[in-house]
Structure 1
Amino acid sequence: MLRKLGTVSGLTLASRLLGFLRDVVLAATLGAGPVADSFMLAFRLPNHFRAIFAEGAFNAAFLPTWATAEAKGEDSATLGAQVLGWLTLANLVMLALALGATGWVLAALAPGLSATDPRWALTVTLTRITFPYLLCMSLVAFLSALLNSRDRFAAAAGAPILLNLSMICSLLLADHFPSAAHAAAWGVLIAGLAQVSLLAVSTVKAGIPLPWPRIGFSSNTRLFFRRLGPAILTSGALQVAIFADTIIATFLPQGSLSHLYYADRLYQLPIGLVGAALGTVILPDIGRRAGRGDETGMRKVLDRALLICLVMGVPMAVLMATLGEWAMRILFVRGAFDADAAQSSAAILAAYALGLVPALAVRSLVAGFNGRGDTKTPLKCLTAATIVNVVLKIVLSPSLGPVGLAVATSAGISLYALLLFRTGRTRGYLDRPPVTPSVILVGAGLISGIAIVLLKEDLLNYALTVTPEWGLLLAFGAVAGTVALFHGVFTLLALRFVRTKC
């Protein structure tokens, strides 16, 4: 598991580092004003639908069905061709709607942005450029599932690198476009085409024949669609909270969407490196074990994944909550992105940190259900969590602004993880968690967090006297390194209790 996780996380880290470079260029070029808001909204809309249809729901329903069919020696080629046919048809319908009725789509999904708003015309134009990215990502998700079912994770994990490279290049050539926002939008579309090409070539090299799309209903295709319905509702419910952020933020002061975006970029880094990577790695493994009826093996896979989430999540949450402003200043304060914007984004990031560990664990917990072909239980759990999430957003945002949206997100994801965990324990999907190691790891996090709050300003002042130009980076590196070493020692102590119990 660690070897596979290393492959996915390593390429994801490379992608995220390039993503931060992309955001540095983006922040310096667009800043956090109305033009940036227009691009962020145009970029978010296809990504919302991608998360619902192309990744979350599709992978949850297709990958276990495909893995089980192959484990049982059934006809997986027909399943792939028919699923690809329906996936392509659905995306073409959505694309036609988005391009032909862009104004209606924006009015429905961003009601705080009216036709009289100065951002309206630019947002409509940018959305028409970026929305075809959804079709590209649907094809990428399909090809990634085929590769992941054979334990080939590198191409799919590395594909997002092309998005970052494309956007960086397009922003550097912004003088050749009507605006920097146009350049970024075209970079998104070009990246989608490049990612499809990469995954198609990788699939052929892996010895997996590329299926030709067909419309039909084999027995496995019908099973896929029975699982897809709850999976779509699950992914849709998860996106409702994100849609709520977008909708509510359009009613908040200008710049709120941009502050949310930059905070979310740092928040998503550990989720991508650990949470999403683990979910990607264990889903086909659990699917194959489910086809063989290996319940003990499935429990061990999930238990190990959750332990990794706890070990890595606690120190990451501490650093996000205590050093967010330093990170924002190091990464983004230049050009149009000033210190006030960094402070606003850091406050949002600290609120996101409250739910980081549950957010890391959710993908693995959901994989424990989806790998067994159960897409209904995550839907039930998420529905309750989403109601709490959205209600809290509505209640907290008037007084706390975008920080209230992040607090509600943390509360919702924590409730979702708790419901999944309790249900999984009841059904025997995972073993009883070791209490003592958990207390050790969480206690270490509290100790290190308090120490950072008490000492960080003195450390920063000292570092600035040593090297005024690089003092902030030096102080950040010193604190992060100390936290990593401190938590490493406590992790070894916690693992001794795990081994003793086993």
Structure 2
Amino acid sequence: MSRLLRASAIMAAGTMASRVTGFVRTAVLVAALSSAHMGDAYTIANAIPFILFDFLLGGVLSSVVVPMIVRRQKEDPDGGRAYEQRLMTLGTIALVLLTVVAVLLARPLIGLYTDDGWSDRKIEVAVILARFVLPQIAFVGIGALAGAILNTRDRFAAPMWAPVLNNIVMIGVLVLYYLTAGEAGADVDRVSEADLTLLGLGTTAGIAAQCLVLMISLHRVGFRFRPRFGLREARLGEMGRAASWTFLYIAITQFGFLVTTNLASGAGDEAPGGGPTAYANAFQLFQLPYGVIAVSVITAMLPRMSRSVAEGELASVREEFASGVRLVSVLLVPAGLLLMVLGPAVTVLIYSWGNNDLDNAVYIGNVLQVFGVALVPFSIFQLLLRVFYAFGDTRTPAFVGMGNTLVNVALSLAVARFLPAQYVVMGLAFSFTVSYIAGTAVAWTLASRRAGGLNGRTVAGGLSRMYTAAIPGALIALGVLWLTQELTVLSPLSAAIMLAAGGGAGMLVYLVVAHRTRIPEVSSLVGMVAGRVRR
């Protein structure tokens, strides 16, 4: 637990800096573009590079590449150095080719993720932006390969801190865009070609800077890039067999994203401000606690569980997983409840500036409140996937993902069919939540069979104590919210008061109650913080 806590703390610090600067970037983005039509065009265009990367490489990195590098490091005479060089060589070539093809197909790619109701000019703006941002695929992929190699060497800091530079570059670009474009920058009919060029190239420049930082960090730990083209030695056949189910899993989840995005795009045409930008911004805020807390633990867990499986130590796998769930949940439980209470306060403080208005910001907060329910089950689901990946099993996650997506798509279609346009995106967040609650239950059952148990009673007992300790804090936050609304008009200032008083008091009460009830993970966190303060 202590080793996992220390590694997670290092990554969490970098992830926190990344997420905080990321929210500054998003706030400036919404202020410059609004969360209506121009914001929707940028959101769709900028999502496509990451969709393609995730489909063709991202899932493989998390499920196949890391465990294979770990095995090569243990079994190859050179500690896996040649294998790493071949992966980097072949990955770079594939990513560059994919980028070229994607740029050429920018218009049909945009067409996949937009509704028929979009105007010709809105589609044109999205296509122009897509052609500038699609080269991100190569930079994201090369950086991800570098990060995977760093993680197998237990070097977690650089992959978590590198996005900070990307955010800083983007903040500068967006401020310049806002100053030069003004109100026209939020209007698809008035925005100029020069402004779109600045926005698109600036977005890609930020990712390129992030990639450069990761490559420098990789060089510093001893990796030396030497082109190697031996396909047989790269074990692409073995990787392909292991990754085939991962590709299916990613394809299934991307199908779900395609449906969600099209439904949100249609809703945004009928109710401006309630489209894909609202969904994406709420989801990004929902990802903050998950990214800071859960991703750090997940990243540290996978190499360790992979080694334990290779050595036949299933008891270590079970203990690693149970420790990870408890460590993740100790802060995600109160965070989820506080998001359900204070979601609109968060979004009003961040998104009600510049070219965006207060009502649009409140709507994003309503979507965030729904996502708050999903925070714990979504995070546990991601941890469960790593149990399968540690065993080299990518088939089971594909079937679980298929069930997840079918539930999500069915509920999403029902939401779009029966709810008014202004409630559709909130309904899409509800569909996402229900699908992950169901998926977590199924994945837990299957992973428990594979690992010979997952210490379920211990985990369930810990979660119940955490929720019991978190409820008083959530009630205090609710009281502060009600009192502030009675005394003031909703504004960024009143939202800041709600967050500082309600969120701060709520979390403090939770930590005190949890520490007094001897929840060990809270005691470990308190002890670690107190030790650093005494230094």
The residue number in structure 2 matching 1:250 is 265
Partner of 1:195: 210
Q: 1:126 and 1:158, CA in 2 relative to 1: closer, same or farther beyond 3 A?
A: same
Identify the residue that residue 36 of structure 1 maps to in structure 2: 39
Distance in 2 of aligned mates of 1:497 and 1:186: 44
How many angstroms apart in 2 are the aligned matches of 1:486 and 1:211? 55
Tell me how far 1:270 sits from its aligned partner: 1.1
Relative distance call for 1:78 and 1:222 in structure 2 (3 A) is: farther
Match of residue 505 from structure 2:
482
Per-residue CA deviation, residues 189-232 of structure 1 (Å, 9 max, x unaligned), is 11222122111111111012224252502374432222111122
Taking only the aligned residue pairs, the percentage that are identical comes to 22
Of 376, 381, 406 in structure 2, the residue corresponding to residue 357 of structure 1 is 376
How many Å apart are 1:268 and its aligned residue?
1.2
Report the residue type matching 2:250 in the other structure.
S
Residues 207 and 86 from structure 1, CA distance in 2 versus in 1: closer, same or farther, beyond 3 angstroms? closer
Q: Report the AA paired with residue 405 of structure 1.
A: L
CA drift at 1:446: 4.2
2:69, 2:152 within 8 Å by CA — same for their partners in 1?
yes
Q: Is 1:409 the equivalent of 2:441?
A: no
Q: Residue 373 of structure 1: SS of its match in structure 2?
A: coil
Structure 1: distance between partners of 2:425 and 2:281: 12
**Does residue 155 in structure 1 map to residue 155 in structure 2?**
no
Q: Note if contact 2:472-2:509 (Cα within 8 Å) is conserved in structure 1.
A: no
Cα distance in 2 between the residues matched to 1:298 and 1:238: 27
Give the alignment partner of residue 244 of structure 2, picking from 229, 235, 254: 229
RMSD (Å), alpha carbons: 2.5
SS of 2:267 mapped into structure 1: coil
| 1:478 maps to amino acid | A
Alignment of 1:328 onto 2:347 = yes
Deviates more, 1:130-139 or 1:85-94: 85-94
Residues 142 and 453 (structure 1), Cα distance of their counterparts in 2 relative to 1, 3 Å cut: same
1:430 counterpart letter in structure 2: L
Q: Which amino acid aligns with 1:26?
A: L
Alignment partner for residue 168 of structure 2, among 150, 154, 165?
A: 165
8 Å CA contact 2:405–2:435 kept in 1: the answer is yes
Tell me what 2:463 maps to.
Answer: 438
Q: What displacement does 1:170 show?
A: 1.1
TM-score of the superposition, structure 2-length normalised?
Answer: 0.87
CA distance in 1, matches of 2:131, 2:521: 56
* 1:426-479 alpha-carbon deviations (Å, 9 max, x no partner): 2225222324332222234445444544552214545x59xx984432332111
SS in 2 for 1:252: helix
Q: Mark the CA change 1:179 to 1:413 in structure 2 (over 3 Å): closer, same or farther.
A: farther
Contact 2:343 2:368 in 1 (8 A): yes
Deviations 1:13-41 (A, max 9, x none): 11111111111211111112222111111
8 Å CA contact 1:8–1:277 kept in 2: the answer is yes
Q: Distance in 2 between matches of 1:258 and 1:496?
A: 40
Given the alignment of the two structures, is residue 292 of structure 1 paired with residue 303 of structure 2, yes or no? no
Q: Which residue in the other structure is 1:495 paired with?
A: 519
Alignment of 1:291-440 (within 5 A): 291-398=310-417, 399=419, 400-427=423-450, 428=452, 430-434=454-458, 435-440=460-465
Give the structure 2 partner of residue 95 of structure 1. 99
Offset from partner CA, 1:228-267 (integer Å, 9 cap, x none): 1112222232333222221211211333122112212211
Spell out, residue by residue over 1:367-405, the C-alpha distance to the aligned partner (whole angstroms, 9 max, x if none).
111122111111111111111111111111230311111
What is the CA-CA distance between 1:106 and the residue it aligns to? Answer: 1.9
Can you list the C-alpha shifts for 1:48-80, whole angstroms capped at 9, x where unaligned? 122233322222110001112212345623432
Counterpart position of 1:110? 114
- TM-score, normalised relative to structure 1: 0.92
